[in-house]
Amino acid sequence: MKSNIAVNADRIAADIDALAVITEPDKPWTRRAFTPMFLKGRAYVEKIFRDAGLQTRIDAAGNLIGLRKGSVEGKGTLMLGSHTDTVPNGGRFDGIAGVIAGLEVARALQDAGIELQHDLEITDFLAEEVSIFGVSCIGSRGMIGVRPEEWLARTADTEKGRIDLAEGIRQVGGDPTQAGGRTDVKAFLELHIEQGTVLESEKIDIGIVGAITGITRFEILIEGRADHAGTTPMSKRYDALGAASVLVLGIESIARKLASEKGYFAGTVGEFSMEPNAANVVPSHVRMLIDARAVDPAVMEEFVTTLYALCTETAAERQVTIHEPRKVSNAVPTPMSEMVTDVLAASAARIGATTRPMVSGAGHDAAYLSKIAPAAMVFIASKDGRSHAAEEWSDNDAISLGAAVLYEAILNLDKK
């Protein structure tokens, strides 16, 4: 650990360890949004916010916010934050590191007796991960006023019975009837684990994220014909699963080619189901969901064009019906603020941390905050690139160094 940093690494480690204990006992590390365990974790975070002298509140979107008032009324807000909800069976650092690093910036400012001109807010955004309601980034979308109204009617089963999202937001202390739309945020910074191997393999301290990938998901339905697996000749089959297998391998091939030739791209068949799913029946129906990610919209368009051609060609060759891929969701690529990335690079240089520019292949709350304020992200290394798994790990020295970069950046941004 570098000796010239203002943050306290021991405090960071203690808070992350304390949150790790708050987990479903048989599923480390699990605190899904809208569950009792999530609320227990939220209560701990609210306590340490208050212990640090922050004024706490839950906003209408269900986000937990800790406020450190600035010296100039109406100057605006500098915001740090991430999320404390997790996916099932994984998430010791994902999101949590960003919330605790933001809190440590506030504590370090207090230790140094530094009063900012701007208000400083540390935010734990509600449900950044895909929630029990099947949607994600609920808190950050709500904060800026782009949460779809129809989402409030989505339902899910909880320990208190089946509820809709509107009730879920009420249960965490929010008010779904109020519209979001913050106008006071002057800059937003988010620290996050990389969830990849670039920083670790290149032995770089800090990744400075200049863009967050766009994510488009497509559903493909394939219709064949159910027949007896023993009596139907191989040459007379209309096997939906066989055709689907061609598509899966084709999609992987297209994605590899685009990634090698065009820069960042990722394509994954992440959901897959078949019918009738019986050992002695030729499969008649397959549904698959494709997750495609690109920073350059032109690369995404090339993928879509090639995907459509692959579907047409495969349907003809395999004599099945492949319905036109249906776009299920689309989040456009999000560039980060060049002004803020420059501040982060200069801040890292001041404390002797090495940096490299990066693209985030995952979605983050920063993508939504960037719509109302200059925003950027700091990545710190993930061991073996593991994330969304129980083995997820980032060294505390790396998290503390990232927090120190945020500290320097906040001091710089406060003067701008």
Q: Would you say residue 153 lies in a domain?
A: yes
- Which one, of 12, 131, 115, 127, lies nearest residue 401 by Cα? 12
Contact predicate 171/34, CB 8 Å: yes
**Domain end: 303, 331, 359, which one?**
331
Average pLDDT, stretch 257-282? Answer: 96
Asked if residue 314 and residue 244 are part of one domain, the reply reads: yes
Q: Which residues contact 89 (CB under 8 A, 6 or more apart)?
A: 27, 28, 29, 30, 389, 390
pLDDT at 2: 65
Looking up residue 244, the CATH number of its domain turns out to be 3.30.70.360
Of 275, 307, 331, the one marking the end of a domain is 331
- Domain span at 320: 214-331
pLDDT at 267: 97
Whether residues 53 and 183 fall in one domain: yes
Residue 165 clears pLDDT 70, i.e. is over it = yes
84 part of a folded domain = yes
Domain count across the chain: 2
What was the pLDDT predicted at 91? 84
Whole-angstrom distance, CA of residue 347 vs CA of residue 349: 5
Cβ-Cβ contacts under 8 Å for 313 (sequence gap 6 or more): none
How far is 247 from 220, CA to CA, in rounded Å? 10
- CATH number for 106: 3.40.630.10
Answer yes or no: is 3 within a domain: no
Mean pLDDT, residues 134-155 taken together: 94
Q: What pLDDT is stored for residue 1 in this prediction?
A: 62
CA 224/CA 319 separation, integer angstroms: 8
More confidently predicted of 311 and 91: 311
On whether the pTM is more than 0.95, the answer is no
Query: In the structure, what pLDDT confidence band is assigned to residue 306 with cuts at 50, 70 and 90?
Result: very high
Q: Decide if pLDDT at 268 tops 90.
A: yes
Give CA–CA dist 395/197, Å, rounded. Answer: 14
> For 230-254, what is the mean pLDDT?
98
Asked if the model's pLDDT at residue 68 lies above 80, the reply is yes
Do 143 and 266 share a structural domain? no
Task: Give the confidence band of 252 by pLDDT, cuts at 50, 70, 90.
Answer: very high
**Residue 118 reports pLDDT greater than 80:** yes
Round to whole Å and give the CA distance between 191 and 93: 11
Residue-level pLDDT at 351: 97
- From 290, 316, 331, give the residue that closes a domain: 331
Dist. CA 86–CA 280, nearest whole Å: 40
Q: Do 92 and 114 share a domain, yes or no?
A: yes
Are residues 133 and 38 located together in one domain of the fold? yes
The DSSP annotation for 274-309 comes to EES--TTB---EEEEEEEEEESSHHHHHHHHHHHHH
My answer on whether 187 and 230 are in the same domain is no
Place of tokens 């499969």: 283
* Strands, E assignment, 34-142: 55-58, 64-68, 77-82, 119-124
* DSSP 8-state code for residue 210: E
- The fraction of the chain above a pLDDT of 70, given in percent, is 99
| Inside any domain, residue 4 | no
2 assigned to some structural domain: no
Instruction: Calculate mean pLDDT across residues 235-249.
Output: 98
Amino acid at 315: A
Please compute the mean of the pLDDT values over residues 114-136 and round it to a whole number.
95
Report d(CA 87, CA 121) in Å as an integer.
25
Identify whether residues 157 and 236 lie together within a single domain: no
Local confidence band at 130 (pLDDT 50, 70, 90 cut-offs): confident
pLDDT value, residue 330: 85
Q: Are residues 69 and 108 in the same domain?
A: yes
Same domain flag for 29 and 164? yes
150 and 228 share a domain?
no
- Mean pLDDT (the chain, rounded): 96
* Same domain? 343 vs 205: yes
238-264 burial: b if 16+ Cβ within 10 Å, else e: bbbbbbbebbbebbeebbeebeeebeb
- 129 and 260 fall within a common domain: no
Q: Is residue 378 part of a domain?
A: yes
Residues 47, 50, 56, 61, Cα dihedral to 10°: -30
Question: What are the start-end ranges of the E strands in 141-261?
Answer: 155-158, 161-164, 185-193, 206-212, 214-223
pLDDT digits (tens, 9 = 90+) for 286-305: 999 999 999 999 999 999 99
**In angstroms, rounded to a whole number, what is the distance separating the alpha carbons of residues 158 and 28?**
19
Stretch among 22-26, 76-80, 173-177, 272-276 having the lowest mean pLDDT? 22-26
